[in-house]
Amino acid sequence: MNVSPNLPLELIEHRSDILGEAHGFGGFLFDASGKLVMKDGLGWLYTTAVAGEKWESWVRPFNFRTFQAGSPTRVLLPRPGDDRAVLHHVVAITEQLFVGLYCDGLGVGAAIASAPDGQFSRDDAFVLRPEVGWETRGGPADGWSLESNGAYLLYSDTAKETIFWQGYDSYYYRKHGSLGDLGWAKVRVEKGSGRVSLLNRHPRNPLAFRKPDWRAARCGGNLAIDVLIAGKRPFFYYIKRETGPIVIGIALSNDPIFLNDTEHSVMDVMLGGEEVAEKFEALQVGNELILFYQSRMSSAARADGPSFNDNSWRTSLRRYRIL
């Protein structure tokens, strides 16, 4: 599958590991409008790392001008008995209320903190797990999980509550190469109590991003909300066909929820020995698009050198010139 020739993008830089350590990209801190929280070029980068065979979530200051990161702080651990707590999206609801959507290996959970680098406490009443239907390809739920991602759209924001559409995707982890699709869930955050509630799934789920013969179109997002390509909003995701390597897909639309009048293209291929690229979030600076994501090297690339021979996930970026 080749890169679409008509996309107004030119790759000018690729870095497979901007942190120099085994921390996979989770996401940045965004405000309730879907814009990056950034002051004087500085923001917050959430990552995930493995310790004792368990996936933990960390955060560190991040300079968007130099791509340099500060020291990490661990902010979320798995529950006893779980093997992961991976933050995929963090929203600054108020100056003292930060909501994180995370994956626990079975579904999507919610947690809150009082600061971007504060300890996140789970809201155990929030549960988003697979339902039989499109989330399981019509089969039983066994073997399927749901994961939050970097897709977001503000629905309403008042003095009492914030309601938004949160992107998520299905994932069948028991089959080599995985299966999965993308959807939206409506989430409410009560500003006084900090309670996070699942209101409903979008009735038009899943997003029509996957061709019938593809295994997966998932693990993507539209953040930051103010990025524009050819005058349209982009949504980045990965495409997994029945055979062949993963490629990066892009959807362009004037519809902020990507349900109508959406154009799909192949944006790019795996680079530098990458086997997987996922969890995309982007920043636009002038006529440049900076795409951040999580990557893992192929077994062949790992055999060629010591840099990634631990099969770890890393934080990567690609810079494109918008033509």
Residue 296 in tokens:
């893992």
What's the mean per-residue pLDDT of the chain? Answer: 94
Residue 4 in tokens:
């679409």
Say whether pLDDT at 301 is over 60.
Answer: no
Say whether pLDDT at 311 is over 80.
Answer: no
The CATH number given to 9-322 is 2.115.10.20
Looking at residue 177, its pLDDT comes to: 54
Q: Are 238 and 220 in contact (CB under 8 A)?
A: yes
How many alpha carbons lie under 13 Å from residue 8 in its C-beta half-sphere? 11
Say whether pLDDT at 306 is over 50.
Answer: no
Looking at residue 125, its pLDDT comes to: 96
Confidence label for 298 from pLDDT (cuts 50, 70 and 90): confident
Residues 13-18, mean pLDDT to the nearest whole number: 96
Say whether pLDDT at 310 is over 90.
Answer: no
Q: How is 5-61 classified by DSSP, letter by letter?
A: TT-SEEEEEEES-SSSSS-EEEEEEEETTS-B--BTTEEEEEEEEEETTEEEEEEEE
Q: Are 264 and 249 in contact (CB under 8 A)?
A: yes
Residues 83-108, mean pLDDT to the nearest whole number: 97
Looking at residue 308, its pLDDT comes to: 52
Say whether pLDDT at 144 is over 70.
Answer: yes
Confidence label for 268 from pLDDT (cuts 50, 70 and 90): very high
Interatomic CA distance for residues 290 and 266, integer angstroms: 17
Provide the percentage of residues in the chain whose pLDDT is more than 70: 95
Q: What is the pLDDT of residues 20-65, one digit of tens each?
A: 999 999 999 999 999 999 999 999 999 999 999 999 999 999 999 9
Residues 268-280, mean pLDDT to the nearest whole number: 95
Q: Are 274 and 295 in contact (CB under 8 A)?
A: yes
Confidence label for 173 from pLDDT (cuts 50, 70 and 90): confident
Q: Are 293 and 275 in contact (CB under 8 A)?
A: no
How many alpha carbons lie under 13 Å from residue 139 in its C-beta half-sphere? 10
Chain-centroid distance of CA 110 in Å reads 15
The more confident residue out of 178 and 64 is 64
Sequence-distant (6+) residues with CB within 8 A of 252 are 229, 230, 232, 233, 234, 235, 262, 263, 265
Sequence-distant (6+) residues with CB within 8 A of 235 are 151, 209, 220, 221, 222, 250, 251, 252, 253, 258, 262
The residue type found at 4 is S
Q: Which helix (H) or strand (E) holds 300?
A: helix 299-304
Domain assignments of the chain as residue spans, ordered by start: 9-322
Sequence-distant (6+) residues with CB within 8 A of 289 are 9, 227, 229, 282, 283, 319, 320, 321, 322
Residues 115-123, mean pLDDT to the nearest whole number: 98
Say whether pLDDT at 210 is over 50.
Answer: yes
Ranges 107-116, 176-185, 284-293, 306-315: which has the least confidence: 306-315
Ranges 60-74, 173-187, 251-265, 285-299: which has the least confidence: 173-187
Bridge-based pairing of strands 262-269 and 247-253 is: antiparallel
CA distance to 31, 205, 222, 232, 302, per residue, from 255 (Å): 20, 15, 11, 9, 41
Task: Evaluate the CA torsion angle 223, 166, 59, 278 in order and state its sign.
Answer: negative
Looking at residue 3, its pLDDT comes to: 83
Interatomic CA distance for residues 59 and 278, integer angstroms: 19
Ranges 145-149, 226-230, 276-280, 297-301: which has the least confidence: 297-301
Q: Is the peptide bond before 224 cis (omega within 30 degrees of 0)?
A: yes
